[in-house]
């Protein structure tokens, strides 16, 4: 399949253009020619030397990641940038990136995948950012204890231990999710009446804000909460007739 066709289908599926004004990431094709043939696609959370090397070893023509190489412009290709970009060009591996579009997609995205994992129902978009949403909210069919939710999050690929600020009700019914670094949406979770916010990593002030508001916050790891999108996109690639390889490289963060 032509690279331009793969890129166009991913862009259309993920509504990439809708996030252009709110995302620092240069979403879409970041490295690659206008045209090349794609048969094998590797998928990973991060574009880093380790995942690029793994993509080359897998014989990938295209690497798709959630975190890419270009954030708000690229002035010089030296140092770390050169070490990452050079093997892509040398080995004819293109790089496609989807950051916030792959967080907020309500079927294939990271938040949607995490909501699936937790078994949430009655789901709606959550985590407003300008005209778009980067998260999802839903409810348990039957209320869960904090320990039950923590146990489910501990099962995530790459999650070493879920940190919990247990300030909400004893039983949790309504949950808001913004994966990765999502504690900036705590106020939106509070305003929505959620019992808990699930995200990846926290900030110092969140402890006090959650305690004062009476809401529980689960920090399940930035990496661990953001494997769902690329894995879902890998399944979509297989349906397109492409060979898809998922590269797991947890960071412990």
Parallel, antiparallel or unpaired: strands 132-145 and 171-177: antiparallel
Six token digits for residue 245: 């390889």
Domain boundaries, the chain: 1-100+225-244, 101-217
Tell me how long the chain is: 253
Question: Cβ atoms within 10 A of the Cβ of 58, count?
Answer: 17
Give the pLDDT confidence of 167-222 residue by residue, as tens digits: 999 999 999 999 999 999 999 999 999 999 999 999 999 999 999 999 999 999 99
Per-residue pLDDT, 71:
93
* Under 8 Å between Cβ of 55 and 43: no
Q: Which residues are annotated as a binding site for a divalent metal cation?
A: 66-67, 103, 222, 226
Give the pLDDT confidence of 70-90 residue by residue, as tens digits: 998 888 899 999 999 999 999
* Under 8 Å between Cβ of 149 and 172: yes
Non-local CB neighbours of 48 within 8 Å, separated by 6+ positions: 84, 249
Question: What CATH topology corresponds to 1-100+225-244?
Answer: 3.40.1390
Q: Cα separation of 52 and 46, whole Å?
A: 9
| Sign of the alpha-carbon torsion through 57, 59, 65, 70 | positive
Q: Cα separation of 112 and 100, whole Å?
A: 13
Q: Which residues are annotated as a binding site?
A: 66-67, 103, 222, 226
* Under 8 Å between Cβ of 58 and 50: no
Per-residue pLDDT, 73:
81
Class of domain 101-217 as given by CATH: alpha beta
Fold identical between 1-100+225-244 and 101-217? yes
Per-residue pLDDT, 34:
86
Give the pLDDT confidence of 24-72 residue by residue, as tens digits: 999 999 999 989 999 999 999 999 999 999 999 999 999 999 999 999 8
Q: Cα separation of 180 and 34, whole Å?
A: 31
Provide the whole-model pTM. Answer: 0.96
Percent of the chain whose pLDDT exceeds 70: 100
3-state per-residue secondary structure call for 120-170? CEEEEEEEEECCEEEEEEEEEEEEEEHHHHHHHHHCCCCCCCCEEECCCCC
Percent of the chain whose pLDDT exceeds 90: 97
Describe the crossing of helices 110-118 and 146-154 by its angle, rounded to 10 degrees: 120
DSSP 179: -
Give the pLDDT confidence of 108-140 residue by residue, as tens digits: 999 999 999 999 999 999 999 999 999 999 999
Q: Is the pLDDT of residue 21 over 90?
A: yes
């Amino acid at each position: 399949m032509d690279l331009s066709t793969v890129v166009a289908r991913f862009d259309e599926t993920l509504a990439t253009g809708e996030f252009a004004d709110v995302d620092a990431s240069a979403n879409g094709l970041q490295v690659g020619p206008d045209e090349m043939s794609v048969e094998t696609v590797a998928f990973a959370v991060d574009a880093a030397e380790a995942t690029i090397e793994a993509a080359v070893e897998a014989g990938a023509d295209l690497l798709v990641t959630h975190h890419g190489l270009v954030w708000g412009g690229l002035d010089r290709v030296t140092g770390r940038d050169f070490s990452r970009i050079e093997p892509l060009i040398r080995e004819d591996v293109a790089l496609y990136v989807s950051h916030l579009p792959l967080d907020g997609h309500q079927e294939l995205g990271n938040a949607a995948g995490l909501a699936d994992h937790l078994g949430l129902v009655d789901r709606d978009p959550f985590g407003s950012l300008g005209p778009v949403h980067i998260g999802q909210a839903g409810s348990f069919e039957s209320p869960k204890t904090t320990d039950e939710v923590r146990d489910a999050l501990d099962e995530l690929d790459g999650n070493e231990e879920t940190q919990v600020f247990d300030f909400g009700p004893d039983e949790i019914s309504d949950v808001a999710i913004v994966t990765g670094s999502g504690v900036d949406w705590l106020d939106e979770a509070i305003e929505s009446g959620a019992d808990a916010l699930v995200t990846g990593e926290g900030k110092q002030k969140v402890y006090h804000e959650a305690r004062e508001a009476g809401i529980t916050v689960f920090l399940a790891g930035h990496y661990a909460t953001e494997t769902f999108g690329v894995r879902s996109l890998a399944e979509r690639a297989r349906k397109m007739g492409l060979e898809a390889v998922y590269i797991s490289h947890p960071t412990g963060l």
